[in-house]
Every structure is written in structure tokens, then in C-alpha cells.
Copies of this chain bind each other. A is one copy, B any other.
Amino acid sequence: MDTSVFSKHIESADIVITDSFWKEKLELVRKEVIPYQYEALHDRIEGADKSYSVENFIKAGKIAEKIRNGEKIRVYPTDKWCYDEGNSHPDSFHGWVFQDSDVYKWLEAVGFSLINYPDKDLENKADAIIDIVCDAQLENGYLDTLFIINDRDAVFTNLKDWHELYCFGHLAEAAVAYYKATGKTKLLDTACRFADLICDTFGENKIKGYPGHEIAEMALVKLYEITNNERYLDTARFFIDERGKKPYYYDTILGKETVYDNYHYNQAHIQPKYQSEAVGHAVRGVYLYSGMADIAKYCKDDELYNACLKLCDNIINKKMYITGGIGATVDGEAFSFDYDLPNDLAYSETCASIGLIFFLRRMLEISPDAVFGDTVERALYNTVLSGMAVDGKSFFYVNPLEVLPEASRKDSRKRHIKPVRQKWFGCACCPPNLARLISSVGEYAFAENEDTVFVHQYIGSLLKTKNAEIEIVSDYLDSGEVTLKITPQKEFTLALRIPLWCKEYCFTETFEEKNGYAYFKIKQSCEIKASYSLYVRMIKCSNKVRSNLDKVAITRGPFVYCAEEVDNGKELQMLKISKMPDFDICDDILYANAFREKESKKLYGEWAESEYVPVRIKLIPYYKWANRGENEMSVYIRI
């Protein structure tokens, strides 16, 4: 690792997003998603699955009070994955074992939103929820409503399946964001008290466990960054080092030997430093890798960093959809094997792409490389944004690349492929995760160190950095033009990512290129114009991917395009794009010459060249699909 290029993302507080594309998304999150989720957390959305999250905190608060008063409290069974109305006592915990995290993710999104748009009313609402959350904390710092309500003796007894350390992670991330937004320390103090208990509980000569669903690793690092308390860093490192050691912790604690394969699911099959293939539950994977990158950086751990590089390489070059989606299989919401990327069975969870962005931001902070920046862009503009309807009112968990509504209805193998977005999920991880990512999108776009400012994503903004004030006027998505108006505090270097999709680009100033970044020496106030030629590309997938043979995907700039039935008729598989397609672009809609194969009704017949009718196909950015009712969709088109 070259520590001299280490950087740190620029804080949301130092970024004003002015970009029309992103401002609209931020507004959507602020005006639609956050208020909607507030109602959802309070179980006030008609027709949607209940969340129970706030209710659980209120119940837990009462129990915490009783404990303080030494009152006797009932015990409910804690051996279930999902505690719902039908099966539970009304006084017991309701929802999934990780239900608390929905409240935390909402609070984190609110934190970022308040930085962007101060809003007293929203802050009051958040403060009220924070009071409810903090009231539920036990005196020893423990805070997980499932175990506080149902069974205090079961605390930390099954790290593999229960999500106490996962919920802690989201609590810590929310606390940090809310503290940065408001300067209020109440939630942060609560998070630190829980963190202290965790540091007291886990480690050498203590319980040698680690989270079943990772996130605590990177969350502890965030607390360390705010508090400088090295115990948090140490415990994060412990969780990573201990993971995968034999005999397996989970086996020793559960008293039975699990087969090796089962540990792939939560990346505990071998120690992270020896991992080179992304396996198991995709969200857990990228959350772990994010923590690994954090520790690699803070502890200057080359072994861990090399593992991160290998995992990146494996994901980006063998396990990622062109849309930046990862986790190809619904079974275990997991990475499949290399090159297994079926379009119509894809899982490609929104949260997994969000987690991939978390991981790659950290990799960029260790070493700026356009491959990482490019992949963040790919995930952000495609799978992440497709997770939300254009009106911000419905959401996708799963982001397929090919959809036939009849198959989703009739084929159980495709039951996870929803042809229309859903309002709210009982397991609501994706919508609040989307809200917090979008609200803090600037933090994934810009970074700096002592003498360099990095622009990883071209999002129109005003940046206040240690090195300079920079105004970025971006027409990147429409024309590929970006203007940077720079007022330096001192001499520094500006590093601009050159998009890998762009073969023709120019800058108005001289630069040096390294790992796909253009480096400019800035000595005085100046303006740099970057022009990236936004031609339409026909992309071919490796022929090791069996589902994409003799097909292409169309991209323009960061956007992957797709065909929808509403524009191109049913049976999209009959379309063949021309090899010289003569593209037209109108706003963000693409038109191209293509052919429609005449329907062959006969199931089996002698081979003959097909007959085609010339057609002009209409393609829209992938993230905009499924906004005009249920219909067929396909990213890949035959050529």
C-alpha cells in the first residue's frame, strides 16, 4: 500500500449538491421516501406489511424501565427468524430479528438529509424517535429490542443467526450521521455505550465470536473516526481476524459441527485475509469487505488489502452484472459461481449494489483506480437507482435484467422477479438503505488527502475542501461536459476520474494520467473543462456467460439501457439490433435500427434463415424501467 495516496471522502457537510439529476433524487428522498418511511415505521401505511420497528422500541423501553425497577418480566421464545402477528404474543417482539435496523437506517438518512436541507420539523421527529430508541437501552449498554423484550438471557447466544451486532452496526452508522448533522450527542452516546459493551464482551480472552451478518466492523471504524477510541478499531479488527478460524466459533457455541459449505453463506469459511472469491450472501459479503478495507487502511495491513484486491477483481470481472448488480442467485441472496449471471433469474439486490459502493469507496480511499470509480458509477446509475420508482413511492429489492411478467407469476423459480415495484416490505432493508445512500451521495463522489482532491463521480456541487473550494458544473450525463471552477487554498493536485467507457476525452489544462485518473497541478484559481465523448456503445459480454451469447447491451455514459414492452411490443426476444444501428438520442431515450424476427409458431421445424421486419427500437435507461405499468423488459438484445 502506498500510504501517500490514502484519502478520505469529503463530508456531506462540505458538499452542496447542485446537480439537477441528483438534486431531484435528493428531493425525492426528502419529500417522499423519508416521510413515507416514517409512516411505515409507525405502521401507518395502509395495505403494506407492518414494520413494528417503533412499537418494538416502545415495548423495549418499558421492559428496560421494569428491569431498572427490579420487576419480574415475562420470557418469549427467541428461536424464530421472523416474529409476526400470527405466531407471537401481542406483548412480544414483532417483525424480523433485524427489525431495529430499519429505524436506524431511517435516522441515518434523516441525518444526511438534514445536512443537505435543515428541517426543524423533521429534526423534531427524529429526536422523538431517538428518545424512544435511547430509552430502550439497558444499563449495561445493550440495545436490541428483540432480546430486551423477549429474553434477556438469550443475549449474544447465537451470533450466527441473530442480528444483534448487525443492528448495533446500523445504530452506530445512524448515530455518526445524526451527530454530524446536528451536533447532538444523545444517539452517539447510546451507540458508544453499546460499542463499549461489545468491546468488553468480544476479543482475546473474552468471547471469540463475530457477527453472522457483517457491518459492525465498518461501523466500529466509523465510531473510531469520531471518537478516536482505539478499542473500537481493535474490536473491528478482532471481528475480521477471528472470522473463519478453526474450530469455527459458531460450531463451538452451538455445540454441533456445521458442514464447511454453510460458512460460505456468511463468509466465515476461511479467514478474510485468505479470501479471494466473493461467496455467500452478497450484502454480508460486501459489508465484510468494506470493514476489511477499513482495517487494511487504518492498520496498514497489506495481507488484508491484497485479499480486498482479489475480491474486487473477482466481483468486477466474474460476478457482476453490467448494471453493477451482484449476488446472482436468490438462494441465500448470494454470489453464484464465476460467470453465472442469468438475466431472468438474477437476484441482484439493491442493497448489495449499495454495499458494493461502500466497499469500493474504501478501496478508492486506499488507492485511486478508475476501475473502482467506474464500478461505483455503474452500480449507482443502474442497480441502485432502479431500486426506486421515479416517484419515490415504490421499491425493488431484486433487479433482474430480463423480465417476462407471465414467468414471474407462473414460474416459482422466478417468483422473486417482481415486474412492478412494491410499496413497502416486511423485510424493508432496501428502501431505507437507498434513502441513506442517496442522501449522502456526495460522500461517494469526492475525496481528498493533504495535497490532492479526487473527483470520482461527476456530480454538480460546491465543494469546500482543505485544499480548495471547487464548483463543479456538470452536464456529464447529457453532454459529457464538466466544468470545474477552482479556488485553491494552497497549491494542490486535482484528480479527475477518466471514465473507462470513454475513449475520446479532452481537458482544457495539461494533466498526467495514472490508473485512469487525470492529475492536474493547481497553483491558482482556474477553470478546467473536461469533455467526455458520450457515444453509444454496444457491449458484448464474455462468452463464458451462457445467457448473453450473441447478444449486446447498449450503454451511453454511465447508463445501461433496456427495452420495454410498452415501447417495443411483446416478445422482446424477437428483436435483433442491427450491427450498424444508427443511434438517435432524444433526452435520455435511445432509438436504434433493429429487426423483429417473424414469429415462428411451429415448435420444432427444419432450420432456415429467419425472416425479419425492420423496426426502430426505443431504449430507456435501465434505472427507469417499470415505471409505466407491468411489462416485459430486457437489457440484452440479440445482434
Contacts and interface: CB of A to CB of B under 8 A. Distances in A.
Interface of A: 316-318, 320, 322, 329-332, 336-337, 339-340, 344-345, 404, 406-407, 410-413, 537-546, 549-550, 552-553, 571, 573-574, 597, 599-608, 610, 638-639
B638 A549 contact: yes
Contacts of A605: 539-540, 542
Contacts of A320: 603
Nearest to A279: B410
Contacts of A574: 543
Given A337-B406, A543-B574, A606 B538 contact: yes
A406 B605 CA distance: 32
Nearest to A552: B607
In the A-B complex, list the 5 residue pairs whose CB atoms are closest, starting with the nearest: A331-B412, A538-B607, A540-B607, A337-B410, A546-B573
Nearest to A320: B603
Given A331-B412, A413-B329, A602 B638 contact: no
Contact of A603 (B331, B336, B542): B542
A112 B483 CA distance: 86
A603 B318 contact: yes
A543 B337 contact: no
B638 A550 contact: yes
A606 B537 contact: yes
B604 A329 contact: no
A544 B599 contact: yes
Given A340-B407, A407-B337, A601 B542 contact: yes
A552 B574 CA distance: 16
A380 to B, nearest CB: 16
B597 A336 contact: no
Contacts of A345: 413
Given A329-B413, A404-B546, A607-B639, 20 more contacts: A318-B603, A320-B603, A329-B412, A331-B413, A332-B412, A336-B410, A336-B411, A337-B410, A337-B411, A340-B411, A344-B546, A538-B607, A540-B608, A542-B600, A542-B601, A542-B605, A543-B599, A544-B571, A544-B601, A550-B550
A541 B603 contact: yes
Contacts of A603: 316-318, 320, 339, 541-542, 545
Q: How many copies does the complex hold?
A: 2
A434 B336 CA distance: 35
Contacts of A597: 543
Which of A322, A574, A607 has the most CB atoms of chain B within a 10 A radius of its CB?
Answer: A607
B340 A543 contact: no
Nearest to A553: B604
Nearest to A343: B546
A549 B573 contact: yes
Nearest to A318: B603
Nearest to A609: B579
Contacts of A537: 606-607
A331 B409 CA distance: 13
Contact of A604 (B541, B600, B601): B541
A604 B317 CA distance: 8
14 contacts: A330-B413, A331-B413, A332-B412, A345-B413, A404-B546, A537-B606, A539-B605, A540-B605, A542-B603, A542-B604, A542-B605, A543-B597, A544-B601, A549-B573
A601 B540 CA distance: 11
A316 B320 CA distance: 38
A553 B603 CA distance: 12
Nearest to A332: B412
A551 to B, nearest CB: 9
A544 B546 CA distance: 19
A563 to B, nearest CB: 14
Nearest to A415: B331
Contacts of A542: 599-605
Contact of A539 (B318, B545, B552, B604): B604
A216 B411 CA distance: 29
B331 A411 contact: yes
Nearest to A605: B540
Contacts of A412: 329, 331-332
Contacts of A336: 410-411
Given A331-B412, A411-B337, A606 B540 contact: yes
Nearest to A608: B540
A573 B320 CA distance: 20
A544 B407 CA distance: 13
A540 to B, nearest CB: 4
Which of A337, A407, A413, A603 has the most CB atoms of chain B within a 10 A radius of its CB?
Answer: A603
A548 B360 CA distance: 38
A552 B246 CA distance: 51
A543 B411 contact: no
Contacts of A573: 543, 546, 549
A241 to B, nearest CB: 28
